[in-house]
Amino acid sequence: MNKTSLFKRGRRVLPGGVCSSTRLNEGLGHPLYLSRAEGAYLIDVENKPYLDMSCGHGAALLGHGHPAIKKALVAAAELGICCAADMPYHIELAERLCALIPCAERIRFTNSGSEATLHAIRLCRAVTGKDKILRFTGHFHGYHEMTFIGGHPPREELDRASRYRESPGIPEPMAQFIIAVPFNDLDTVARVLEQQAHEIATVILEPVNFNSGGIPPQPGYLEGLRELTRKYNVLLFFDEIQTSFKKSPGGAQEDFGVIPDLCTIGKALGGGLPLSAICGPAEWMDQFKPAGEVQHSGTFNAPLPNILGGLAFCNTITTSSFYPNLLARADRFYQGLTKMIARLDVPVQVPYYGARFGLIMGLDHPPVSYEEVLGHRKDLMLDFVHACYQRGVYVHDYGGAACHHGFSIAHSNTDLDLALHVFEDALASIKDRF
């Protein structure tokens, strides 16, 4: 069995040969077909190991096949793989999360991040009686029609970002509910809220803009959003699907000390199993049925294996050694990466937050907005991805875009040193093209 024959077979029965749009790695020209994954490594169908610097786009914070997650799956099988029913474990995990997430008094579980933001936006509209969403260019909140508008417009569409639909099949009238503005620009947010707050249900954002390479909020920015949304009676919504658990148990709201009205968490929460959640105060969360009238349901919503995986994940990350170990490795890795880029003298920016980081090719300064990130060199990124792959390190391509990469608690310092060595070789191989 080899990747070439699999890709040929796959294209006969799967659109593009894959089960998700981004699984065709453009830097490789084919998907990474795996036979298994262990700890920090992916093993492909040709039995070649690759150090994983994607980690399931951030889902595998514990690494692959963590013993606690294996144990949870066995326990779920013994209990009958229950779905469409709640069990004491659901309540236990909700209690754990309410203790960890600052804004959480109630939890409603979902499976994917897209599900979480879709239903959370419905809740925001029900709570406020308003329909519009203020969102930021460069941010990502799922693939549904509620938010897949105005997130990543090309440069020529920036002036009409609020109308830019990111996929065919999204009805044009959906754009009337979106107001897209630049990140890290409080004056624009203040102006829009002053004029249109009576129509805006929520301001939604990634507290750290991972989907544009990891742009951090500028000092005072999140605090300013908190003040403005309170002033204009608009809900502040942190989409922490990616930031949750990457640096602390409480996510970006704990790290930056700014508490939103509600948030979505996920990606890593299930320990590699699909599990996300909507978190918020009782007065608003209790508008979900059956306590209130806002509909959210699903046969496969929070099935037992995922919930037990979530409990195992929470038990693991709340041990006294987890974050000290993870962040010590992060500091060592980022220091090495920064020194290596300086040594090569290449214009590459590496924003980072906890266990995730960006690689922005061709910029000579740290970006503060999506518009600046549009200067990223996609061609160089794809060549970098290919060069890393040839040297035994897997970096996901995201179509060449500036996005995010990362590591897990399973990555040792030796593994991260290997990543640094390969990154240096890969960057050196394309240095003359910057």
pLDDT in tens, 100-129: 999 999 999 999 999 999 999 999 999 999
pLDDT in tens, 179-197: 999 999 999 999 999 999 9
Q: Are residues 365 and 247 in the same domain?
A: no
Return the closest-CA partner of residue 284 out of 275, 276, 273, 293.
293
Report d(CA 398, CA 240) in Å as an integer.
20
Please compute the mean of the pLDDT values over residues 422-431 and round it to a whole number.
98
pLDDT of res. 385? 98
Confidence of residue 431 (pLDDT cuts 50, 70, 90): very high
Q: Are residues 399 and 266 in the same domain?
A: no
Q: Are residues 83 and 216 in the same domain?
A: yes
pLDDT of res. 75? 98
Q: Are residues 282 and 197 in the same domain?
A: yes
pLDDT at 413 over 90: yes
Report d(CA 188, CA 201) in Å as an integer.
17
Mean per-residue pLDDT over the chain, rounded: 97
342 contact partners, CB below 8 Å, separation of at least 6:
none
Query: Does some domain include residue 9?
Result: no
Q: Are residues 145 and 248 in the same domain?
A: yes
Please compute the mean of the pLDDT values over residues 11-24 and round it to a whole number.
94
Q: Are residues 218 and 343 in the same domain?
A: no
Confidence of residue 14 (pLDDT cuts 50, 70, 90): very high
Q: Give yes or no for a contact between 138 and 217, defined as CB atoms under 8 angstroms apart.
A: no
- Tell me the chain's radius of gyration from C-alpha atoms: 21
pLDDT in tens, 213-230: 999 999 999 999 999 999
In the DSSP assignment, the letter for residue 39 is B
- Residue 207's domain comprises 67-317
- What 3-state class would DSSP assign to 48? coil
Q: Are residues 308 and 254 in the same domain?
A: yes
285-291 contacts at long range (C-beta below 8 A, 24 or more positions apart): 285/105, 285/106, 285/107, 285/108, 285/123, 286/106, 287/123, 287/126, 287/127, 288/108, 288/123
pLDDT at 1 over 90: no
pLDDT of res. 156? 96
Q: Give yes or no for a contact between 300 and 126, defined as CB atoms under 8 angstroms apart.
A: no
pLDDT of res. 368? 97
Report the domain count for the chain.
2
- 206: domain CATH number? 3.40.640.10
What number of other Cβ atoms are within 10 A of residue 299's Cβ? Answer: 7
Estimate to the nearest angstrom the gap between the alpha carbon of 18 and the chain centroid: 21
pLDDT in tens, 339-350: 999 999 999 999
pLDDT in tens, 55-85: 999 999 999 999 999 999 999 999 999 999 9
Q: Are residues 301 and 345 in the same domain?
A: no
pLDDT of res. 3? 87
Q: Are residues 392 and 292 in the same domain?
A: no
Biggest alpha carbon distance in the chain? 62
pLDDT in tens, 140-158: 999 999 999 999 999 999 9
Across 230-286, the runs of DSSP E, i.e. the strands, are: 235-240, 262-265, 276-280
pLDDT in tens, 392-407: 999 999 999 999 999 9
Report d(CA 101, CA 108) in Å as an integer.
13
Report d(CA 310, CA 316) in Å as an integer.
10
Q: Are residues 190 and 137 in the same domain?
A: yes
Return the closest-CA partner of residue 40 out of 27, 22, 56, 20.
56
CA angle 238, 242, 247 (to 5 degrees): 95
